[in-house]
Structure 1
Amino acid sequence: MMRRFLPLLMLLAACSPQAEDGIHGYLEADYVDLAAEVAGRLKTCADEGTWLAAGSAAFELDAAPESIELTQRQAEAAALQARRNEAEAGLKLARLERDRLQSLQKKHFVSREDLDRAEAAVEQAEAARKAADASLQAAEEGIRRVRWLIKQKRQVTSQPARVERCFFESGEWVAPGRAVVRLLPRGSIKAIVYVPEARLSSIAPGNTLKLHVDGRTEPIEARIRHIAAEPEFTPPVIYSEDTRASLVYRVEAEISPQQQRQLHPGQPVDAELP
């Protein structure tokens, strides 16, 4: 779906001298909206119109509360690790004592009661280590969760893109899943043109169109990617005296990234068919 329309420009293009064949259309883009899965207050947002390299931060939510929590959880985990080490050492000693008494009991140097107490001590030490392991694992899981929250609060681009819009101001609260930034990935602009039924047999996916855009002396080449299966009436945004009552087919054509420089979604185009 086209994100922006420029109705007045469309009307002018429809009446331009280049539209001899009545093949009109516009440029459209596949925008990407970036959101965070967690809530937070917006800290920074990339400036609109800025080109970002892949991996660059598009926006960042305030992660100060999570950073404080992470420090606290790491300290707790360190203490629990020390307890776990103590429990492991205690279990090792209890097992050594039990093994020693087992050897002595076989020679009747110690009573069965002494061996039973040693085995009970091993069981207690094993339970203590198991509890220490569970506490440490829970603490480590908490650390992983907080680190994930911090990572979510800094959203980066997966590919080169231009910042089209930031939906929030710095300091505003952002709910989970709400789009914060709209990006225009490099190479995402395409042409949408409407071909009369009588001319449909002359084109096929893979064919090349020549697009005329205001302000450019040379046409732009675009490769047809898709032709609609069903006809429709000419969209109101590209009405002209010749085409307003015509049934046309929507044709989508790809433009190479190199030719997309200085192009903008919503610009009207006139097309020459092969």
Structure 2
Amino acid sequence: MKCQSILLSILMLTVLSACQSDSGSRAMGTVERDRIRLSATASEQITFVNVHDGQTVQKGELLLQLDTRSANALVSQRKAELVQAKAALSELIAGTRPEQLSAALAALEASQADSKEAELKYQRSAKLYKSNVIGTADLDAAKAKRDSSHAKAKQAYDQWLELKNGARKEDIEQASARVKAAQAALVWQEQARKDLAIKAPINGIIDTIPWHVGDRVSSGTQLVSLISSSQPYARVYLPATARTKIHIGDTVSVFADGIKTPFQGRVRNIRSQPAYTPFYALNERDRARLMYLTDIDLEHADQLPTGLAVEVHLP
């Protein structure tokens, strides 16, 4: 009886050891494809939904449309600002109109005549003051009138000269810079309006689109989840015991549930960090339980559905 118990214990240990060895020689995971999440580019209301869950779409196809009324108003504003900036620049480049220059010249001649008359009155007043005909107050008034007339004539001359010479190079450069800024603002606003039309960036299948016409979303809210129709890959958890046996570029056999023939795969990437508890928090025995996410490109596996369970036989 005792011998039978010993034999039974040995048999159970052998079976457990075989199971552990078998499970340690496989990496489990699922079939995956690239997933793209499209978000709202602005806080607007949804005005049009063109797809539904599970629908196949092509690159560039319209999926969902956000309200463009606010964006249209901003585009019109940017266009008006650009027109205004261009007009200001054209005015500086064209220079002074002949009518303005003629009016400034006439004002200059009038002020020069007043200045000459004021100078003559001052000279007469100075002679009369020396003859004691007028007092000091009258002389000071004549002098003030002369100085004021001279200043006005100088001001009129400077204004006429400014109009004659036209705009400075620096003023034209500043106006040109304002035109470029207005053009850039218009391009940015037009692109922002264009981004309100949510389109498929790749060929794929709509995974989820939980929104409806009339829903108001905030900027950055996920609107559509799109699964790429490109070549699938297997994402498996590689045991730490096999980490040194599998390398990037190695060819492995991948078995999918329900399919007897394995698929050939090439290891694309192995994460450098374990997926679970950090190794420095574990002892030597527990470190064997660490798993490393590994991506394996599959060949001739386009028919495999996303999410299908797979396993990789390890050396």
Q: What's the TM-score once normalised by structure 2's chain length?
A: 0.56
The number of aligned residues is: 233
Q: Which has the higher strand share?
A: 1
Query: In 2, Cα distance between the equivalents of 1:196 and 1:70?
Result: 56
Give the aligned partner of residue 14 of structure 1: none
Compared with structure 1, are the counterparts of its residues 219 and 173 closer, same or farther at alpha carbon in structure 2 (3 Å cutoff)? Answer: same
Query: Are 1:66 and 2:108 counterparts?
Result: no
After TM superposition, list the pairs within 5 Å mapping 1:108-127 onto structure 2.
115-122=157-164
Over alpha carbons, which structure has the higher Rg?
2
Higher mean C-alpha displacement, 165-174 vs 41-50:
41-50
Aligned Cα root-mean-square deviation (Å):
4.5
The structural deviation recorded for 1:263 is: 1.8
Q: Which of 280, 285, 289 is the aligned partner of 1:247?
A: 289
Deviation at 1:135, TM superposition (A): 7.6
Q: Does 1:263 align with 2:305?
A: yes
Q: 1:87 aligns with which of 79, 88, 91?
A: 91
Is contact 1:190–1:252 with CA below 8 Å preserved after alignment?
no
Deviation (angstroms), 1:232: 7.5
Moved more, 51-60 or 146-155: 51-60
Q: Assess, with a 3 A threshold, how the Cα gap between structure 1 residues 90 and 165 changes in structure 2: closer, same or farther.
A: same
**1:273 matched to 2:284:** no
Change (3 A) 1:179 1:229: closer
Mapping for residues 152-171 of structure 1, pairs under 5 Å: 152-171=195-214
Distance apart, 1:63 and its partner CA: 0.8
CA contact (8 A) 2:26 2:314 kept: no
Aligned partner of residue 70 in structure 2, secondary structure: helix
1:50 aligns with 2:55: yes
Q: Which piece of structure 1 moves more, 187-196 or 81-90?
A: 81-90
Provide the rounded CA distance (Å) in 2 between the counterparts of 1:38 and 1:164.
22
Question: Could you tell me how far apart the structure 1 residues matched to 2:230 and 2:37 are?
Answer: 16
Amino acid at match of 1:259: A
* 1:172 correspondence with 2:182: no
Q: How far apart in 2 are the matches of 1:201 and 1:135?
A: 62
Gapped regions of structure 1 (runs ≥ 5): 1-18, 102-110, 234-245
Shifted more, 188-197 versus 52-61: the winner is 188-197
Please tell me the residue identity of whatever aligns with 2:28.
Answer: H
**Worse-superposed segment, 35-44 or 89-98:** 89-98
For 1:93-108, what aligned pairs fall within 5 Å after superposition? 93=97
Q: Cα deviations across residues 156-214 of structure 1 (Å, max 9, x unaligned)?
A: 34333322111422221111111111122233743233455555554322222222223
- Return the alpha-carbon distance in structure 2 between the equivalents of residues 202 and 154 of structure 1: 49
Aligned partner letter, 1:268: A
Indicate which of 37, 42, 46 corresponds to 2:41: 37
Give identity over the alignment, percent.
Answer: 19
State the alpha-carbon separation in 2 of the partners of residues 256 and 197 from structure 1.
Answer: 22
What letter matches 2:36 in structure 1?
A: V
1:273 corresponds to which letter in structure 2? L
Change (3 A) 1:164 1:123: farther
Going from structure 1 to structure 2, the CA distance change for 1:179 and 1:122 (only over 3 Å counts) comes to farther
Task: Quote the Cα distance in structure 2 between the aligned partners of 1:153 and 1:52.
Answer: 18
Return 37-46 or 224-233, whichever deviates more: 224-233
**SS of 1:147's equivalent?**
helix
Distance in structure 2 (CA, Å) of the matches to 1:154 and 1:163: 16
How far, CA to CA, are the matches of 1:86 and 1:24 in structure 2?
Answer: 71
Is this contact kept in 1: 2:275–2:293, CA < 8 A? no
Does the residue aligned with 1:259 lie in a helix, a strand or coil?
A: coil
Residue pair 1:187, 1:256 contacting (<8 A) in 2 also: no
Out of 27, 31, 54, the position equivalent to 2:31 is 27
CA distance in 2, matches of 1:139, 1:200: 58
> Which of residues 146, 160, 164 is equivalent to 2:189?
146
Alpha carbons of 1:71 and 1:230: their partners in 2 closer, same or farther (altered >3 Å)? closer
What is the distance in 2 between the residues matched to 1:207 and 1:36?
Answer: 41
Q: What one-letter code is carried by the residue in structure 2 that aligns with 1:270?
A: E
Q: Which is helix-richer, 1 or 2?
A: 2
Deviation of 1:90 (Å)? 6.0
SS at match of 2:95: helix
Distance 1:201 1:32 in 2: 33
